[in-house]
Structure 1
């Protein structure tokens, strides 16, 4: 099963993308719909809201009077927090029930409007953000929902910014064009990324390795590494002792293979084994071909996502391998001459092993130059 977080600002057209993914076979868990269900007439959720905010938030039909409730909590952060404290746990519990009931080979799309605002992105193996610039969102809200321009802008301002959403997005799905274009993009996402990701995740296997072809340093790599590091840290929980971006993609200006390397510090091999299942659940299964190096590396996990190659090295905190990875990264960042020498070695290795489907020989070629610790 692949859990996909789907979000986007008001007016971005997230529902259109959700419907298309359902047409392709996704199981939809709609947080907005669930939020209405858990406070429907006769529910414990509605009773809790009434106990907190009074009978005036209930309409003549016994259902929640949403405009009346909005008038109470709008502009009152404390009241909004009390409401969220009632509704959000109920929504999470019902969402978990629906996810658990999905087939084992499902691609579950969890439509969560406040996914970014709620800091929920690290819990998903992949997050898709539907994006449209603000002027177009305002135009849509005025034209299709009858809002005034001022109201539309106020609603947009109350949500996360585009920069915050981009920081959380593994996929930014541009929905600024016509609907047919957006649907084609959704189809491409489904076919080229979500389906193979789910298959890899269910089989607990990494995606195909990235060939040893060097590309120029990409300024997007640090942001991608932060997203993955948050995911890894969330999965590891208290057994993790910090996640660091290491390797060539962590060195600005250094050419590299397009693969993010992270280092997760753990207390022991037993702790590495204990977190292996949680890492696999968020899209980072163990690499069955990886061999411990004897210097503190006690696990190697690789991304099952065909759209984002990544390796997570589990290393005992303060071991030789843990220290070396940080020291080498910091030296490459600070020492231009050493960095130039390493670039030469990388290019030589890429020339030797570009056609080699197994990256181990390329990696060994670089390790010999670096002098990686073995014992």
Structure 2
């Protein structure tokens, strides 16, 4: 495996350290900080503004608790420095318990503009129209993909999809109804594709991509024949085996797919560029410095595991809108080396965290 230039790795680390300090000053200064963090800081035994001088210093914070994002008032998360701007609220989760809410102003635009820079114009031609085959409703994804399409000069076509209804049906063992609902979603896509809208790019979750591809094959067509050339996908089912099956059996050589790993708190982690030597292994790299992930020891969440070792995903979000130091994700995976395009740690083999995997129902993802 090619070694990554150590100067690149050092520069990325310096950038992360600098961004961390700027983020802390913003969120913990009385003039710009959010009511939540200004209040929470009173309970700390340290002064974030004075004592956080690097990314490593974020370990001084207590672990971020899920429940801080459940319930309101949502306004406590709005930084004073952004007061008066229009606010969105997006929900994340809902797979288990009361959904977590995230206040957003422009992060979903910025995150996807950054992601846009990683897309190859050959497969995702500027000016092309997009198809959004994923969850709608109070999810950030719908507006984010729509913005991505517009930012790249196109128009986005969306379907109606409520992932919570799918989860509910599966939990009740109503497999036939869940299948019917999936078919209802695919029918919406077929209707859009019949409309002659010249759609070349798409976002799809793995299960829905597979369902659409098989339906088109049944109809004597294919995703390539429908004119789609570039797909970016995301979801927990993205295994190397499925990735290979998808590329070789469902898409063929004329459609390019790039896997992503993302959520409402982090934004979007890109995958290391495809390399046959990786044998379809997918390695994700967080969108540093706006977000960073560590793969940490199951027994000690402040200890990063060695390269190649398995651990739980620990997420840090650091934007002007949101500061999350050390959110323990519901995923685990293996720590991977930096790569040339993303000269910081990555993660492969992402899957539901083993301690809670049995209690998690995966719906349309």
- TM class, shorter-chain normalised? under 0.3
Which one has a larger percent helix, Structure 1 or Structure 2?
A: 1
- Which has more radius of gyration? 1
Which one has a larger percent strand, Structure 1 or Structure 2?
A: 2
For normalisation by structure 2, the TM-score amounts to 0.25
